[in-house]
Chains A and B, each alone.
Chain A
Amino acid sequence: MNTTHYPSAHIFQSPETHTLSVVVDNEPGVLARVVGLFSGRGYNIESLTVSETEHEKHLSRITIVTTGTPMVIEQIKNQLDRLVPVHRVVDLTVSGKVLARELALIKVKGKGEARVEALRLGDAFRARVVDATTESFVFEITGKSDKIDEFVGLMGPLGLVEYSRTGVAAISRGPEAS
């Protein structure tokens, strides 16, 4: 059963993934507003990162990866834009020049052949070892989300203990500000 009130036309559109960059006033509660909007209206958040980017101007940049039909994505952008502390909403996916990266810290425990294999794979993925004991490593890896997915998947049988990801930070290519 569909979750909207009435069978709606836009549920027949297929969902797309979009990366949105939202420039906001860095004031208390602004993240709660953005997150509350997503949960309150039933939108998806696949990844969300937020950090102050321009200290003097009190600006923060929130990067959100979300999925939805084109009509829902348009709604999300309009709803975000409507929030009072939001300066602008840029859909990096629509501009077609999105540069998106994520960082992960991955703890792997193991000895013998598995340990060597993990190190070798770490090399191949350009992961750095940032902590080591005789029976464990912590890798730091940067890249697109699917690269990190893949690396985490490979570490699974080699003694993966736990990992932490930053979520996606994104910006547009080229000289212009997005």
Chain B
Amino acid sequence: MSRQMTGAEMVIAALQDQGVEVLFGYPGGSVLPIYDEIFKQEKIKHVLVRHEQGAVHAAEGYARSTGKVGAVLVTSGPGATNAVTGLTDALLDSIPLVCITGQVPTHLIGNDAFQECDTVGITRPCTKHNWLVKRIEDLPRILHEAFHVAKSGRPGPVVIDIPKDVQFATGTYHGPKNIQHKTYRPKVKGDMDAIRQAVQMLGKAHRPIFYTGGGVINSGPHASQLLRELVRTTGYPITSTLMGLGAYPGNDAQFLGMLGMHGTLEANMAMHESDLIICVGARFDDRITGRLDAFAPHAKKIHIDIDPSSINKIIKVDCPIVGDVGHVLEDMIRVWKSTQPDVDKKAIRKWWEKIDHWRARKCLAYRNSDEIIKPQYALQRLQEAVKGKDVYFTTEVGQHQMWAAQFLTFDEPNRWMTSGGLGTMGYGIPAAVGVQMAHPKSLVIDIAGEASVMMTMQEISTAVQYRLPIKIFILNNHYMGMVRQWQELLHGGRYSESYSHALPDFVKLADAMGGVGIRCEKPSELDAKIAEMIAVDRPVIFDCVVDPAENCFPMIPSGKAHNEMLFGETVEDIGDVIDEKGKMLV
């Protein structure tokens, strides 16, 4: 199907043909022709954000909670530069996005025109790929290619920079059929020899552990089902990264909780003492490995990843399998079933006994209080209140994010939206907007800190405009909690600039913005107020005033190994724990 139309019409036609239902954006001079086309149609719903960073995070929330490609439309210059944080966030967390930016007319490019910036230059390192479209003839192909690149292989954000004169120009539009990229053909099927070898290693292991990540989520719900099948068939323990939570049910007996810097003792010890790590769609990030030369010293490693550059990047692995997690797991299960490996059941039983011993240590225990709300307790009550509900969580970044990962339970994939790789404070509110757009009937809660919230709180206004009843659950400790914790650990308790002296009254703020504010200061009030929050069908800011001195444990201090964890109740004089070398690390 090919038709004559303008560039701006092509943008809308391509978005419709690619199945885009929601577009997050902000208008400006050099995207006005596209906005004019938005005005004339009804298929695509446009969400007007309050800042372009919010548009990208909202699209991330939308993409991550639906498995679809998120779509963003911003103007040239500041519109594009404001989007950079969101694009980088999406790149690090492998979120498929198509971001269309307006550009000054081609004859003005390079002249320092009003609202001109080198968008493709600026976004080159923070996108999977980007295009500057200089000719109308290229536009339809690039639009469809962009979606293909964003969602296939390891997903990621792409930018299409379209000068205003190209938006006005008329050309022939082609639909998305037969769009095949010249060079970009990611491999999805794993090598069968490697898969057979992996299954053999799996069968021989005495102390195996599955270490799974965001790749399982990105591969789709089918991959999560296959992961569950493989893990249950083998009976082996499983741990997950922050990004992978929900791929395997959080309350299952085989699940050891999250691993890494703020992971559980059982997960980290099991990694440390294992003899086989099966890494599925994770990337041995520094928050996971801790000290590299002491990382899982006895383990052989199988690494399943769609991105060949993730393999052997940080940790040398014994059996690399390049392919899509879903495809590879399917093959692994088939090979496992057909070969019926002779598992050493006694060894596995002994391994579980060891793990149960670590579990009995109850590493997430904290000292509760009747006077002051402990953040962990608040999250436990919240978890209790949402049980059985159709709920999605987003987070900001910091202590509250780690506590949320530790104390909330995720049973399904795509229910947990957090900024893992980039660690972007301010991610949660706009992401919640995106999630709620995709799931209007569901309960969407942003677990937040008061400092993060201040970064993108203008998006509450977006939520109000589109009647999105998002719940912003602030664990308010008046500090940038994680900064304060590190200052306590590493810098002698000199809390340099980590205390907010002039926080807004969040209840009044909510009111002023057209939402509902609830403040909770006593543990005894929590249940009733959480119930009230859930019952309100409008955006809510829940200001949960918590213990300002609470630290997030367990913790692997920087520069330490998995078996050198710190625990909440044992830490008295914490300043000595991290040596000089450790202080250099982030």
Contact = CB atoms under 8 A, between A and B. Distances in A.
Given A6-B290, A6-B585, A84-B129, A25 B182 contact: yes
Contacts of A82: 307-309
B286 A6 contact: yes
Bin chain B's interface residue count: 20 to 34
Interface of B: 120-121, 124-125, 128-129, 132, 149, 181-184, 286, 289-293, 307-309, 311-314, 316, 559, 584-586
28 contacts: A1-B584, A5-B585, A6-B289, A6-B290, A6-B291, A6-B585, A7-B291, A8-B293, A9-B293, A10-B316, A28-B132, A29-B120, A33-B124, A40-B125, A71-B312, A71-B316, A75-B309, A75-B312, A78-B313, A81-B308, A82-B307, A83-B129, A84-B129, A84-B183, A85-B129, A85-B183, A86-B183, A87-B182
A36 B125 contact: yes
A32 B293 contact: no
A28 B109 CA distance: 14
A123 interface: no
A6 B285 CA distance: 11
A54 interface: no
A46 interface: no
Interface in A78-109: 78-79, 81-87
Contacts of B183: 25, 84-87
A118 to B, nearest CB: 44
Contacts of B584: 1
A8 B149 contact: no
Contacts of A40: 125
Interface in A8-25: 8-10, 25
A85 B184 CA distance: 7
Nearest to A87: B183
The 8 residue pairs across chains A and B that have the minimum distance between CB atoms: A78-B309, A84-B129, A78-B308, A5-B286, A8-B292, A6-B292, A84-B184, A79-B309
A149 interface: no
B309 A7 contact: no
Contact of B586 (A5, A33, A86): A5
A74 interface: yes
Contacts of A1: 584
A40 B121 CA distance: 13
Contacts of B292: 6-9
Contacts of A75: 309, 312-313
Given A1-B584, A74-B312, 19 more contacts: A5-B286, A5-B585, A6-B286, A7-B291, A7-B293, A8-B314, A29-B124, A33-B124, A71-B316, A75-B309, A75-B313, A78-B311, A79-B309, A81-B308, A81-B309, A82-B309, A84-B128, A84-B129, A87-B182
A73 to B, nearest CB: 11
Nearest to B585: A5
A10 B149 CA distance: 32
A75 to B, nearest CB: 6
A82 B559 CA distance: 31
Nearest to B184: A84
Nearest to B130: A29
A5 B584 CA distance: 9
Contacts of A29: 120-121, 124, 132
A29 to B, nearest CB: 6
Contacts of A32: 121, 124
A89 B433 CA distance: 42
Nearest to B558: A6
A135 B473 CA distance: 81
Interface in A41-100: 71, 74-75, 78-79, 81-87
A84 B149 contact: yes
A6 B292 CA distance: 6
Interface in A98-140: none
A71 B311 CA distance: 10
Nearest to B286: A5
The interface centre, meaning the residue of A82, A83, A86 with most chain B CB atoms within 10 A of its CB, is A82
B152 to A, nearest CB: 11
Nearest to B313: A75
B77 to A, nearest CB: 19
A28 B286 CA distance: 35
The interface centre, meaning the residue of B129, B132, B183 with most chain A CB atoms within 10 A of its CB, is B183
Contacts of B121: 29, 32
A85 B124 CA distance: 13
Contacts of B311: 78
Contact of A6 (B128, B149, B559): B559
B316 A9 contact: yes
A65 B255 CA distance: 47
B267 to A, nearest CB: 19
Contacts of B286: 5-6
A86 B183 CA distance: 7
Nearest to B129: A84
A9 B184 CA distance: 32
A84 to B, nearest CB: 4
A75 B124 CA distance: 19
A74 B308 CA distance: 10
A36 B309 contact: no
Contacts of B129: 83-85
A115 B289 CA distance: 63
Contacts of B307: 82
A32 B121 CA distance: 8
B557 to A, nearest CB: 12
B153 to A, nearest CB: 9
Nearest to A32: B124
B308 A84 contact: no
Nearest to A79: B309
The interface centre, meaning the residue of A8, A28, A33 with most chain B CB atoms within 10 A of its CB, is A8
A1 B120 CA distance: 35
Nearest to A24: B183
A33 B126 CA distance: 11
Nearest to B181: A84
Nearest to B291: A6
B147 to A, nearest CB: 13
The interface centre, meaning the residue of A7, A33, A83, A84 with most chain B CB atoms within 10 A of its CB, is A84
Nearest to B307: A82
A1 B128 CA distance: 32
A85 B289 CA distance: 33
A24 B54 CA distance: 35
A91 to B, nearest CB: 14
A71 B320 CA distance: 14
Nearest to A75: B313
A86 B309 CA distance: 14
